[in-house]
């Protein structure tokens, strides 16, 4: 991790990426704290972390909902926003991870920003069907979507 930090600070992103890949291949288990830090560093370097997650599959690393949420939130801040939905699909297909309110908040916000308003509304309904309670931020995002669509009554 110290080497990754140094390479990041030096702007040697290619070498940093190779070091991260080597770490994923050779490490027995990547701790969640290390993974979160790697995701943060890659996000700041504007490198798509979805590739990092897929490069670790087949190793002893098992992504958690928090891992996916960290990457989704990073993509929300750094972009590209269209990758958020792909990451959500990966999460759902993982089998041991389930979206939570953090996941749905990021997805609904991303879909709203991309103009995929109907998909955002469907995710809101899916979230409620899964027994999760919307946050004030999710309601605010949906209000903006409904007003943008001219659906004042639904808002």
Give per-residue pLDDT as tens, 89-140.
Answer: 888 887 777 888 988 888 888 888 888 899 889 999 999 999 999 999 999 9
Let me know if residue 8 belongs to a domain.
yes
Residues 3 and 58 grouped into a single domain: yes
Residue with tokens 């670790």: 56
d(CA 84, CA 8): 24
Given 34, 62, 90, the domain boundary residue is 62
* 140 within some domain: yes
88 lies in the same domain as 52: no
Q: Which residue is listed with tokens 């997805």?
A: 107
Q: If pLDDT is split at 50, 70 and 90, which confidence band does 29 have?
A: low
For position 60, what pLDDT does the model report? 53
- For residue 50, pLDDT over 60 is answered with no
Which ranges of the chain does DSSP label H, i.e. alpha helix?
2-9, 13-26, 32-44, 50-56, 65-78, 83-94, 101-114, 117-129, 136-148
Instruction: Assess if residue 20 is contained within a domain.
Output: yes
63 vs 99, higher pLDDT: 99
DSSP tag of 107: H
110 is a domain residue: yes
Number of domains in the chain: 2
Residues 94 and 39 in one domain: no
Q: Which domain holds residue 1?
A: 1-62
Q: Which of 21-30, 41-50, 54-63, 88-97 has the highest mean pLDDT?
A: 88-97
Query: Above 90 in pLDDT, residue 13?
Result: no
pLDDT at 68 exceeding the cut of 90: no
103 domain-assigned: yes
Examine the pLDDT at 4 and tell me if it is beyond 80: yes
Q: Could you tell me if residue 155 is inside a domain?
A: no
Is residue 68 situated within a structural domain?
Answer: no
Any domain includes 44: yes
Residues 144 and 104 in one domain: yes
10/56 same-domain check = yes
Residue 63 CA: distances (Å) to CA of 14, 46, 56: 24, 21, 9
């Amino acid at each position: 991790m110290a080497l990754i930090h140094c390479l990041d600070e030096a702007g040697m992103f290619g070498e940093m990426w190779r070091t991260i890949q080597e770490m994923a291949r050779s490490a027995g288990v990547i701790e969640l704290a290390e993974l979160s830090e790697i995701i943060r560093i890659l996000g700041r370097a504007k490198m798509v972390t979805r590739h990092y997650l897929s490069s670790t599959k087949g190793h002893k690393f098992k992504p958690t909902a928090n891992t996916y949420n960290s990457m989704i939130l990073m993509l929300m801040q750094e972009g590209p926003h269209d990758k958020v939905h792909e990451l959500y699909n990966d999460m759902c297909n993982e089998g041991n991870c389930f979206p939570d309110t953090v996941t749905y908040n990021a997805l609904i916000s991303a879909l709203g920003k991309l103009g995929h308003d109907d998909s955002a509304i469907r995710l809101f309904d899916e979230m409620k069907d899964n027994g999760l309670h919307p946050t004030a931020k999710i309601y605010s995002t949906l209000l903006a979507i409904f007003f943008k669509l001219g659906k004042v009554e639904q808002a």
